[in-house]
Structure 1
Amino acid sequence: MFRFENMAAFNYLWIIPVIIIVGYFFDRRSRKRMEAAIGSRLYPFLSSSVSQKKRTIKTVLQMLAVFFFVLALARPQFGQSKQEVKSEGVEIIFAVDVSESMMSEDVKPNRLTQAKTELNRLVDLMPGNKIGIMAFAGSAALLSPLTNDPAAIKMYIDALDTNSVSTQGTNFTDALNTAKEAFERGGVSTDDTVKVTRVILIASDGEDHEPGAVDAAKKLAEDGTRIFTVAYGTEKGGAIPVRDGMGFLKGYKKDRGGQTVITTVKGDALRAMAEAGKGSFYFATVGGDQVRHLLEDINHLEKTQFDTTMATQYEERFQILLLIGIIIATFELFIGERRRGFRFWKGRFEVPAE
């Protein structure tokens, strides 16, 4: 089977007519300038050493070189083979806190943006795992079921904001229960012969307003689900900005007494959940290595084989075309523009052209 892998490369063929147009334009402009400087009668004598045939050959070689370079860039492929590709990893739910306190700017640009940036980085560093995205605050909502498509995962991560759930607050218990249901609905079915390692990664500022999270974490751990938590924000805390529909700052959130609300991060609730869930707790810092530590912890867990697919491998044949293009381009460089054996007058003596 013959095919081109990169059909978009043929868009560069527009360079070929450009070479013709540019060459014609500069040749005409050069002639006009010389005629203006030395006169139209003297110009044919002084330019008679130039071989128009050689110029044409050079232009044709330039076009051929570009043509073969474009063909090589299009990656022609001929011949194919089948290869078995196994997908191994763990099932992970990213549970991201989207409560209003996550918009605090005690870390720049804000807590939620920092969490999203690090989760996107984590997705890039752990291919093969099945990941689901869940947003939670006062309630929880599964945005993306378990999938090993990194582009889709990152799209859902980037879409996270305070409007992803209908209820504000922070309810870890609801988040854990929703994650458990997501595993049961979209994960690999388990029995006595198949065991799947499951992980819940909670990214939050840790302000839990509902009881029961530690007990829920313990029950999940008993069923084999590990819980890792990451706290975003600072112990000093910060105010919660209030913005209009255009994103401009209107002020800061205030309590019923008219005082500005300061949200601080202790991490106690997140640490307790991680301990109950037999996982790890990390306090996120700007430029810190919490992502690396998380990756190490997850990589140490037992992997499960998911899908086995047959991938078609095509043989690349661009090398010969690239070599031809290089040879033609090199040959074009060594072709001069002077006529061979041309002799011109220099003073009283006839001298061979150099």
Structure 2
Amino acid sequence: MFRFENMAAFNYLWLIPVIVVIGFFFDRRSRQIVQNAIGKRLYPFLSSSVSNKKRTIKNILQLAVVFFFVLALARPQMGESQQEVKSEGVEIIFAVDVSESMTAEDVKPSRLAQAKAELSRLIDLMPGNKVGVVAFAGSAALLSPLTNDPGAIKMYLESLEPSSVSSQGTNFTEALKISKEAFERGGVSTDNIVKVTRVVLIASDGEDHEQGALDEAKKMADEGIRIFSLAYGTEKGGAIPVRDGMGFLKGYKKDREGQTVITTVKGEALRALAEAGKGSFYFATFGGDQTKLLVEDIGKLERTQFDSTMAVQYEERFQLILFMGILLALFEIFLGERRNSFRFWKGRYEVPPQ
């Protein structure tokens, strides 16, 4: 089977008529300038050493070089082979805390912004996995079902805001339940033969105000779902900014007594959650090694083959065409424009060729 991989390259063929027109125009223009400078009677004598035939050949070679280069750029292919491509990995749910406390700026630019950046980086470091996104605060919502499309996951991560859920607060129990449902809906069906490694990665500042999260984590661990946690924020804490519809800072959140609310990271709660879920806990620092350690820990888990597809590969045939273009270009460069033999005048006497 013969085909061109890059059909768009043929759009460059319009350069050939453009070169012809421009070359014709400048050739006439240069002749006219020389004739005006030295006169029409003297011009044939002074230009007698130039070979019009060689000039024509050089022009044809230039056009041929452009044609061969465009043809090579189109990547002609002939012959094909099939190769099996397997997709292996684990199923991961990113459960991201989008409560108002995650907008605190004790880490720059904010806890939530740092979490989104780190999780996007994590996707690049762990290709082949199926990933889903759950946003949670006082309630939880599945934003993206399990998919192996990294671009889609990054888009959902970027869209995370406190408005992604209907109620505020921090409810780990609800986040774990929604994550478990996401595995049951969009994950690989499991039985006595097929086993799938499943992971819930919780990114939060740890301020859980609800009960029952540890019991839910232990229950999920018994079912084979591992729970890892990432803590964002500082122990010193930070104020929760209040912004208008345009994103401009209006002030900071205050309690009923008018005091500025300071939110601090609760690493102990996230550590306990990871231990109950037979996973690991990491304290996130921007540009730190926690992402690398997390990738290593998840990489130690058993990987599952999700699907297998047959990819068709074609053999490239542009090399010979490209070589021909380069060869013609070199020939055109070294081809002169002078006649091989001609008579010239020295003073009043004609001198025969030597």
Same fold (TM over 0.5): yes
Corresponding residue of 2:268:
268
Give the Cα–Cα distance (whole angstroms) in 1 for the partners of residues 44 and 267 of structure 2: 87
Corresponding residue of 1:243:
243
Give the Cα–Cα distance (whole angstroms) in 2 for the partners of residues 347 and 123 of structure 1: 82
Shift of 1:18: 3.9
1:245-267 deviation per Cα after TM superposition (whole angstroms, max 9, x unaligned)? 33333333333333333332242
Corresponding residue of 2:289:
289
Shift of 1:159: 2.4
Corresponding residue of 1:227:
227
Give the Cα–Cα distance (whole angstroms) in 1 for the partners of residues 123 and 209 of structure 2: 29
Shift of 1:106: 2.7
| Stretch deviating more after TM superposition (122-131 or 291-300) | 122-131
Corresponding residue of 1:114:
114
| SS of the residue 1:121 aligns to | helix
Corresponding residue of 1:205:
205
1:133-166 deviation per Cα after TM superposition (whole angstroms, max 9, x unaligned)? 1111221111111111222222222222222222
| SS of the residue 2:163 aligns to | coil
Give the Cα–Cα distance (whole angstroms) in 2 for the partners of residues 2 and 243 of structure 1: 60
1:29-75 deviation per Cα after TM superposition (whole angstroms, max 9, x unaligned)? 65566567656665555444444443333333223222222222222
Unaligned runs of 5+ in 2: none
Corresponding residue of 2:96:
96
Amino acid at match of 2:236: K
Amino acid at match of 1:170: T
User: Would the alpha carbon gap of residues 336 and 218 (structure 1) be closer, same or farther in structure 2, given more than 3 Å must change?
Assistant: same
For the Cα contact (< 8 Å) 1:341–1:352, is it kept in 2?
no
Number of residue pairs aligned between Structure 1 and Structure 2: 353
| Stretch deviating more after TM superposition (32-41 or 284-293) | 32-41
Corresponding residue of 2:190:
190
Shift of 1:230: 1.1
Structure 1 runs of 4+ with >6 Å offset: 348-353
Shift of 1:341: 2.6
1:304-344 deviation per Cα after TM superposition (whole angstroms, max 9, x unaligned)? 12212222222222222222222222222212233333454
Corresponding residue of 2:252:
252
User: Would the alpha carbon gap of residues 339 and 102 (structure 1) be closer, same or farther in structure 2, given more than 3 Å must change?
Assistant: farther
Shift of 1:182: 0.6
Corresponding residue of 2:320:
320
Give the Cα–Cα distance (whole angstroms) in 2 for the partners of residues 42 and 116 of structure 1: 78
| Stretch deviating more after TM superposition (239-248 or 295-304) | 239-248
Shift of 1:350: 6.6
Give the Cα–Cα distance (whole angstroms) in 2 for the partners of residues 106 and 37 of structure 1: 78
Give the Cα–Cα distance (whole angstroms) in 2 for the partners of residues 352 and 137 of structure 1: 99
For the Cα contact (< 8 Å) 1:19–1:59, is it kept in 2?
no
Larger radius of gyration: 2
Amino acid at match of 1:140: A
Shift of 1:87: 1.6
User: Would the alpha carbon gap of residues 237 and 84 (structure 1) be closer, same or farther in structure 2, given more than 3 Å must change?
Assistant: same
Shift of 1:26: 4.7
**CA RMSD, aligned part only?**
2.6
1:160-200 deviation per Cα after TM superposition (whole angstroms, max 9, x unaligned)? 22222222222111111100011111111112222111001
User: Would the alpha carbon gap of residues 239 and 83 (structure 1) be closer, same or farther in structure 2, given more than 3 Å must change?
Assistant: same
Shift of 1:110: 2.3
Give the Cα–Cα distance (whole angstroms) in 1 for the partners of residues 350 and 206 of structure 2: 94
| SS of the residue 1:95 aligns to | strand
Shift of 1:27: 4.3
For the Cα contact (< 8 Å) 1:105–1:111, is it kept in 2?
yes
Shift of 1:109: 2.5
Corresponding residue of 1:71:
71
| Stretch deviating more after TM superposition (281-290 or 103-112) | 103-112
User: Would the alpha carbon gap of residues 233 and 69 (structure 1) be closer, same or farther in structure 2, given more than 3 Å must change?
Assistant: farther
Corresponding residue of 1:13:
13
Corresponding residue of 2:4:
4
User: Would the alpha carbon gap of residues 208 and 67 (structure 1) be closer, same or farther in structure 2, given more than 3 Å must change?
Assistant: farther
Amino acid at match of 2:295: L
